[in-house]
Amino acid sequence: MANDDPNRGNTDEMSLDELREEIESIDRELVELIARRTYVADTIAAVKEERDLPTTDETQEQRVMDRAGANAEQFDVDANLVKAIFRLLIELNKVEQRESR
């Protein structure tokens, strides 16, 4: 089976354990990115509170969703799945913002 992505290991050469280790590493990176995103979202929430701005900005949320869909297409990932993940991240951030006010 040919593998056109140079960033991925050749499955003929990688053991199941090595593949699982790769998934584990990716999972750690995902959690780190979620943590970074949450930190920035918390900072945005503080700015909104300081400036007495509403928690929800539907225009910005739509830009995030559009960008998520475009990024999904660029990486050949199911856009609906990516948008669902981003919708969850946005909703969780909004809940945190509301609770902190």
Digits of tens for pLDDT over the chain (101 positions)? Answer: 344 555 555 667 789 999 999 999 999 999 999 999 999 999 999 999 999 999 899 999 999 999 999 999 999 999 999 999 999 999 998 888 877 77
> Which pLDDT does position 84 carry in this prediction?
98
At 56, which CATH number? 1.20.59.10
Residue 8 lies in a domain: no
Helix axes 79-100, 58-74, angle to 10 degrees: 150
Residue 45 lies in a domain: yes
> Which pLDDT does position 2 carry in this prediction?
43
The reported pTM is 0.77
Output helix, strand, coil percentages for the chain, rounded to the nearest 5: 75, 0, 25
Residue 39 lies in a domain: yes
Residue 5 lies in a domain: no
> Which pLDDT does position 9 carry in this prediction?
57
**Residue 45 near residue 55 (C-beta atoms within 8 A):** yes
The number of distinct structural domains making up the chain is 1
Residue 75 lies in a domain: yes
Residue 49 lies in a domain: yes
> Which pLDDT does position 83 carry in this prediction?
98
Range of the domain at 49: 16-100
